[in-house]
Structure 1
Amino acid sequence: MFINRKGTSVKITLVRHGRPVASSNPRVTAVGFAKWVRAYNRSFVRPDSLPPQELQDKFLNSYTFSSDLNRSRHSAEICLGKEADLVLGDLREMDIPRLKLPFSMSVNSWLVIARLCWFLGISGNSESYKTGCKRIVSVVDQITTKVSEHEDVAIFGHGISNRLIAKELKRRGWAIKYSSKGFWGQTELTNITNCSS
């Protein structure tokens, strides 16, 4: 177990939200995909998408963050039985570019292409990859400040943003202890140095 200079363990757990009500994979046009993204961003978690009991037990004494998107706030409420201690807009998912392509395809295909374009710097009117990464650096500063106070922090966020948060934490000396994928997936990190590094 990694410890800080006080001799106590410090931990950050990144949790992806549960399955949203709007999670689906229809065949749509570019306009239909834009509508799907808007609906997904407004969506709450499906009633049948519940976190494992061990995940609920894990955060009984954690300081908790949540993205301000409904699916993450709702996931925190389902898992904790209350709203997260702090809701941050900067924890929201990375923007998805709206691509004006003249054909239809499945939502999953649109997501793959849109994400590839975003990583390559094609973002249109959406938040760029560079701007998104700056946002993540800022939010990691806030997270690590809370870890120095509480030593056990949980974040209810999103797939891509959680990965970028984990990447920034690793850059600062944190190590991934455990990781799982999918809805309710989690990445647990510990620190080998001072938790405020």
Structure 2
Amino acid sequence: MSFYSAEHIKRIIYYDRNRHMKTIINVILPPLISLPDDANMDITLIRHGKPDGVKNRGLLWLKASEMPAWIADYNAATVAEMPSPKTKSACEAGDYFVCSPLPRALSSLSALGVNPDAILRDLSEAPLPVINVALIKFPAGIWLMLFRLLWFFDLAAGSESKAEVRARAAKMARELIDTAAQHGHVVSMGHGLLNNFIALELTRLGWIKIAGTGSGYWSRVTYRSPR
């Protein structure tokens, strides 16, 4: 292990918040601090666990006009199932934890035995539009897929359009990068669609996917900064 005195200079790579590009700065290290020459920043995105009762609620036959109440009930749900040991191990690698304010995300992080260092509204899932179709009934799960497809193809705008959600995710990605530069490995507990948009922005900024477990409940993906 090499030690550096106050006279030694260490090059640290970080991302400039305003220019969104790699910037190399010289930092004078305090005495007796050792850092690896190839130090990288990591960001792990985790999707929340399965909300309690989601299967039964998804089978309810409802009119479109009844879906706002169903969605509100879903957004209030917490997670009852426990995460796998591998998910817990991945979480233990984190240095700083951020979380969506929705109960299913907060309770997922709690199930991992972690209190969030920050609760970030911009980590909330993309809201669903609701299309008022008279008389027709479908299972709630079918309505959800229909609403999301219409939203995805810009055929129905909810409280946020797809472009607005992608812009929010891009902003969130840069905020996570800034946080990783300050605190180390960041673990973000969020939601499936928004995590995907954040991952796309991290990739666009040159970050590299080093681990991933799919897209289901409790899925996770880790990105590492370029050297």
TM-score over 0.5 (shorter chain): yes
69-78 vs 31-40, which deviates more? 31-40
Q: Matched residues in 1 for 2:40 and 2:221: separation?
A: 16
Deviation of residue 148 (structure 1)? 0.9
Q: Kindly report which structure 2 residues correspond to 1:83-122, keeping only aligned pairs within 5 A, or say none.
A: 83-102=115-134, 103-122=136-155
Residue 226 of structure 2 is matched in structure 1 by 192
Q: Matched residues in 1 for 2:205 and 2:65: separation?
A: 41
Q: Matched residues in 1 for 2:156 and 2:141: separation?
A: 18
Task: Work out which of the residue numbers 97, 102, 108 in structure 2 matches 1:69.
Answer: 102
Pairing 1:37–2:68 present: no
Q: Matched residues in 2 for 1:82 and 1:185: separation?
A: 17
Contact 2:151 / 2:158 at 8 angstroms: preserved in 1? no
Alpha-carbon RMSD across the aligned residues, in angstroms, is 1.7
Contact 1:63 / 1:153 at 8 angstroms: preserved in 2? yes
**Secondary structure, in 3 states, of the residue corresponding to 1:59?**
helix
Q: Matched residues in 2 for 1:32 and 1:122: separation?
A: 20
- Kindly provide the amino acid, as one letter, of the partner of residue 7 in structure 1: D
Residue 129 of structure 1 is matched in structure 2 by 162
- Runs of 4+ aligned structure 1 residues displaced above 6 Å come to none
Equivalent pairs, count? 187
- Kindly provide the amino acid, as one letter, of the partner of residue 36 in structure 1: W
Contact 1:65 / 1:154 at 8 angstroms: preserved in 2? yes
> 1:54-110 CA deviation, whole Å, 9 max, x = no partner?
22122234211100001101111111x232111001000001011112311122221
Q: Matched residues in 1 for 2:157 and 2:53: separation?
A: 24
- Kindly provide the amino acid, as one letter, of the partner of residue 39 in structure 2: T
Residue 19 of structure 1 is matched in structure 2 by 50
Structure showing greater radius of gyration is: 2
Deviation of residue 191 (structure 1)? 2.0
- Kindly provide the amino acid, as one letter, of the partner of residue 119 in structure 2: V
Q: Matched residues in 1 for 2:156 and 2:178: separation?
A: 31
Pairing 1:51–2:83 present: yes
Q: TM-score, normalised by structure 2?
A: 0.77
**Secondary structure, in 3 states, of the residue corresponding to 1:35?**
helix
Structure 2: where are the runs of 5+ without partners? 1-11, 14-36
Structure 1: where are the runs of 5+ without partners? none
Contact 1:97 / 1:122 at 8 angstroms: preserved in 2? no
> 1:106-142 CA deviation, whole Å, 9 max, x = no partner?
2222122111111122344521111111211221121
Q: TM-score, normalised by structure 1?
A: 0.88
Task: Work out which of the residue numbers 175, 181, 185 in structure 2 matches 1:148.
Answer: 181
> 1:7-63 CA deviation, whole Å, 9 max, x = no partner?
2132111101011124131222112222211101111112xx111112212223421
